[in-house]
Structure 1
Amino acid sequence: MLTIMIIAPYPIEEYFSAIDEAYNLGYRVVFCSDRLYSHEEVKADAIYEITWQDTEKIKEIAGREKVDGILCYMTDCSYYAAIAAKELGLKCNDPEGLAILNNKGLFRMLLKKAGCYCPKYYRAENNKDLPEHCADMKLPVIVKPEVNSSSRGMTVINSKEDDLNRAFEIAAESSRNGKVCIEEFVTAKNPLRGMEADIFVYGDEILWEGIRDSYRVKDAPIRPVYDLYPTDLSEEEILEVKNAVSVVVKEAGIIMGEHDVEGFFTSEGKFFILEINPRPSGYMNPLDIKMHCGINLIKLLVSTTVGDDSYWNELKHFQRSNRILISYSVFSKKAGILDHVHIDDSLHMIDYRPFIGQKEGSKVDDILSAYRPIAQIVLEFESIKERDIAIEKIESLVYPVLIE
């Protein structure tokens, strides 16, 4: 019997789905997190408390449980998990390549090395002579933590009068290595439209069925709110995305796993890879991808992690579907107590996924402060035209109703 180790910060929807798939495949499950959970809280054969940077502890547990692969759902932990897996002789990605993906400054260096579009940037350990180092950059510039898996700590500098030193301090406070990356602000062709993809890498091959359009809303321009399947990108744009991402993935030594790619086309029409996260994307997007094309990325990730190629080989002859979907993240425009989520009767809803802790009667935060959505709703349409009509008024069709 194959055994998989799953390292996660805490048990939430994504990890429960991976555990369920492991059991469906007949594997043993070893769950490791930052505190010791009970078997009532987590369905696993063995549960351990670990510090995710402790590679020796990861190796010790993996050796004791005779694991066949280590699956890490944490961007920050992926580097340490890969070190442990490599030293145990398990199949894994290059740890140094993962460290580059996790570091905004190093990732910009990787983009330049790979010949991909990259804005001017500067990596700063302190704010000494900061204006001098940024003098040749065009305003606006964005100051961001070099190592941080969220959008916190970012500041846009629009003029020379803005406080660059204060922006550095804010970013450094949120950066796990204390360093800051400063780069020219890149204008998107459509400021509210991005490209996101859950790609699956295995050896020299990449599955691209997870490419989608990811939209923001004016009230929260940095918060992804809804995804469109299939993407509206042209064939030429899709080819540009594939070429750029393929080169970067190969340069970073990525040979396996599901990875979350975020990017957009600039006002000049160039594709800019914002980041590649070495983990599946959030909000249970792999479930949306399964509804869209039929491929179960969670099953694929779990099985290939332990060296089981049966499902990967099955997909070589699998007939993909192409369902037309909107995956909508329900956020509230203001904080309050949730009464219910309104969904217009004209919509064909095929899935409703409330997030843990976000039920009727629960406190919800506003869209800018919320850590996660209230729920994820998947809507299906008979045509692209019908979907696009719904997009125009989606915020009046689906919204949370708060208790006054």
Structure 2
Amino acid sequence: MARRALILLEGSRYNGPLYVQAAPRLDLHPITLSADPAQYDYLAAEGIEAIRVDTNNLDALIRECSRLSATFDIAGITCAGDPFYATVGKLCQYFDLPGPDPISIERCCDKFTQRQLLAEAGVPIPAYRLAAGAAEVESAAAELGLPVILKPTVGAGSRGVRLCRDLDELAEHTSYLLGGQHILGSPPRILVEEFARGPYYSVEIMGNEVLGIAAADSGPPPHFVFRECTFPAVLTDDVHERIAEVCLRCLGGLSLGWGPMNVELRWTKQGPVVIEVNPRLAGTPIPQLVQAADGVDLITEHIKLAIGEKWDLGKKQSNTATARFLVPERDGTLDWIGGDSRAAAVPGIAEVKLYVEPKTPIVRKGDLRDWIGYVIAAAPSFAETEVILQRAVDLIDWSITPFST
């Protein structure tokens, strides 16, 4: 009998390790298809089979999966992030496997198209304009009124997202996005958005069910680098219901409803305003927070759905889990970092993760790549969680020597 395999398209520094660790627990052999498997350190560390293939070439992926099917029983195909999630949908359709609708995913991943569909569905969103050049950006900002948010029409993890408070910042970030410096290589299409003010929430959805709502705080503007995230958020029943209702409207407007999804929004004076809908599981550390709080392993449940099995979203416990992100205060060379082992030993700490090692160059980019690690604590109440978290974070320290000029 052929061994059952789970095909993972590309990987991720964040959720990627969780998928390859969860697969064997479901008696699945994980195989990663990647244009450059070496970019994912955890594949070698975990001894995961990886195959080099052009992941931008659907025909090449079909050929590789067909070749693998001669040896393995391919139980499912999925991925840890959204850049290749539409391709996952196309592969699932070709091989008659459960998966997301690729057309809906592609429309959702274009932030301009997403805005149009949400507006048509009556979902509250920030006022926005599409711009293809510096003059159009300036004109749109004048129409909307400063400050505005500038972001590329494709991308994730707050890459390329910035609050522009005056004309100088507007010109600087426009030049950055249009000048080929944006790492995702997105086309020169920019969204200029009204700045929605208010607390930020991340809503975790599986299928058509709102699993829970997380609250997060970011660092000082102009960037949006999260510093702390708590699940579940402390909300009144009325606020929770209004947020859930808006999120379900998003799914209808975007023709989503299969698998995991994540809705980012802010609670403004007018109520919930949707910032973005992500047609996939939220990134680290949301899955870890949900597991520490509710005992639900979102990664495992997503894989179950991808292989045609029934998932279980029932809560096993009732804690509050909070993650504190470790963010450097300056650019330079990391001389040393330590205390993580002592922090992990603090009662109530669920996880301590460091992304960097000594002698690593630190160059802050104003997005999630600025994180050098995180600490997660869980306890029956938010107040207890915060005390535990602070006790652990205080044990971690590092030193950075600024780059010489």
Q: TM-score, normalised by structure 2?
A: 0.82
Kept in 1: contact 2:230–2:321 (CA 8 A): yes
CA distance in structure 1 between the aligned counterparts of 2:266 and 2:25, rounded to whole angstroms:
37
Residue 285, structure 1, aligned to residue 286, structure 2: yes
Distance 1:388 1:20, change over 3 A: closer
Q: C-alpha deviations, 1:336-355, integer Å up to 9, x for none? A: 32231377899644223323
- 2:354 aligned partner: 355
* Residue 105 of structure 1 pairs with residue 109 of structure 2: no
Task: State the Cα deviation string for residues 94-142 of structure 1 (Å, max 9, x = none).
Answer: 2222122212212211221121112221112334555455543222222
CA drift of 1:243 comes to: 1.0
| Gap change, CA 1:176 and 1:155, over 3 Å in 2 | same
Q: CA deviation at 1:87?
A: 3.1
Is 1:176 matched with 2:172?
no
CA deviations 1:315-357 (Å, max 9, x no partner) are 4xx453111222222222234322313778996442233234x
- Closer, same or farther: CA 395–152 of 1 in aligned 2, 3 Å: farther
Name the CA shift for 1:282/1:270 in 2 (closer, same or farther; >3 Å): same
Structure-1 separation of matches of 2:105 and 2:66: 23
Question: Structure 1 residues 42, 64: CA separation in 2 closer, same or farther (over 3 Å shift)?
Answer: farther
Unaligned regions of 5+ residues in structure 2, if any?
Answer: none
Post-superposition offset of 1:195 = 0.8
Asked if 1:62 is matched to 2:59, the reply is: no
**Cα distance between partner residues in 2 of 1:399 and 1:36:** 31
In the alignment, the residues of structure 2 paired with residue 349 and residue 220 of structure 1 have an alpha-carbon distance, to the nearest angstrom, of 34
AA in 2 matched with 1:237: V
Residues 196, 266 of structure 2: 8 Å contact kept: no
| Kept in 2: contact 1:140–1:156 (CA 8 A) | yes
Instruction: Structure 1: give runs of 5+ residues left out of the alignment.
Output: none
Tell me the SS of whatever aligns to 1:225.
strand
For residue 353 of structure 1, give the secondary structure of its aligned residue in structure 2: strand
- Work out whether 1:324 is the aligned partner of 2:323: no
- Write out aligned runs for 1:166-315 (5 A): 167-172=173-178, 173=180, 174=182, 176-188=186-198, 190=199, 194-201=200-207, 205-209=208-212, 211-218=213-220, 222-266=224-268, 268-309=269-310, 312=311, 314-315=312-313
Counterparts of 1:143 and 1:219 in 2: how far apart (Å)? 13
Retained in 2: the 8 A contact 1:123–1:180?
A: yes
- Does structure 1 conserve the Cα–Cα contact (< 8 Å) formed by 2:19 and 2:80? no
Offset at 1:290? 0.8
* Contact map agreement 1:352 1:375 (CA 8 A) in 2: no
How far has the Cα of 1:229 moved from its partner?
2.8
Residue 128 of structure 2, aligned match among 121, 129, 133: 121
Question: What is the Cα deviation at residue 401 of structure 1?
Answer: 3.1
Shift in CA distance, 142/394, structure 1 to aligned 2, threshold 3 Å: farther
- Displacement of 1:297 in angstroms is 0.8
Contact 1:327 1:379 in 2 (8 A): yes
Counterpart for residue 151 of structure 1: 158
| 1:271 Cα offset (Å) | 0.9
Task: Report the secondary structure of 2:144's partner residue.
Answer: coil
Match of 1:136 among 125, 138, 143: 143
Pick aligned residue for 1:48 from 36, 48, 51:
51
The one-letter amino acid paired with 2:349 is: I
**Partner SS for 1:153:** coil
DSSP 3-state at the match of 1:20: helix
CA drift at 1:3: 2.7
- 1:169-210 CA distances to partner (integer Å, 9 max, x unpaired)? 32233351221111222222x4xxx21133222xxx32413x
TM-score where L is the length of structure 1: 0.82
Deviation at 1:32, TM superposition (A): 0.7
2: distance between equivalents of 1:344 and 1:47?
33
SS of alignment partner, residue 129 of structure 2: strand
Deviation at 1:48? Answer: 1.6
Residue type matched to 1:104 in 2?
K
Deviation string 1:62-99 (CA, Å, 9 cap, x unpaired) is 22323232111232111222223223332222222212
Relative to structure 1, is the Cα distance of residues 52 and 29 closer, same or farther in structure 2, using a 3 angstrom cutoff? same
294 and 5 in structure 1: CA distance in 2 versus 1, 3 angstrom threshold: same
Identity %: 16
Inter-CA distance 321–42: structure 2 relative to 1 (3 Å threshold): closer
Contact 2:262 2:281 in 1 (8 A): yes
| Kept in 2: contact 1:326–1:379 (CA 8 A) | yes
